[in-house]
Amino acid sequence: MLTRMIAGKNVQVNEEGFMTNPAEWTKDIAVELAKEEGLLELTPAHWKVIDFARQKAVESGASPTLRTITSNAGVTTKELFSLFPKGPAKKVARIAGLGKPEGCV
């Protein structure tokens, strides 16, 4: 298993850079990962989606898919792509400290 320093904390990651232990995640880590994804600021709308994804992962044991997020988090597909451009489900999962959602390439 690989480790990486993010926001001053050593965390376990896989080969693609996804955290492998969601318990190591912090909001500071999320902010740093968001910057790496080109998001300079996380607004309340971003946090709503991130918090939803983390909660859904606790319930299901897996990162939520795009359809799950848009059907249950109170955001439309258009809004989600606006908040997390170019692969929103994958970006949400990475920023939320979760594994890559099933079906993402």
List the chain domain ranges: 2-95
Tell me how crowded residue 11 is: count the other CB atoms within 10 A of its CB.
Answer: 19
> Does position 103 have pLDDT exceeding 80, yes or no?
no
C-alpha pair distances (Å), 1 with each of 14, 16, 32, 66: 7, 12, 21, 27
The answer to whether the CB of 81 falls within 8 A of the CB of 88 is yes
Q: Residue 66 and residue 39: Cα distance in Å, rounded?
A: 18
Percent of the chain with pLDDT over 90: 88
What are the pLDDT digits (tens) for 25-39?
A: 999 999 999 999 999
The answer to whether the beta carbons of residues 11 and 4 sit under 8 Å apart is yes
Query: Which of these is catalytic: 15, 99, 104, 105?
Result: 104
pLDDT 10s digits, 54-75: 999 999 989 999 999 999 999 9
Q: Is 104 labeled as catalytic in the residue annotation?
A: yes
Residue 33 identity: L
Given a cut of 60, is residue 105 above it in pLDDT? no
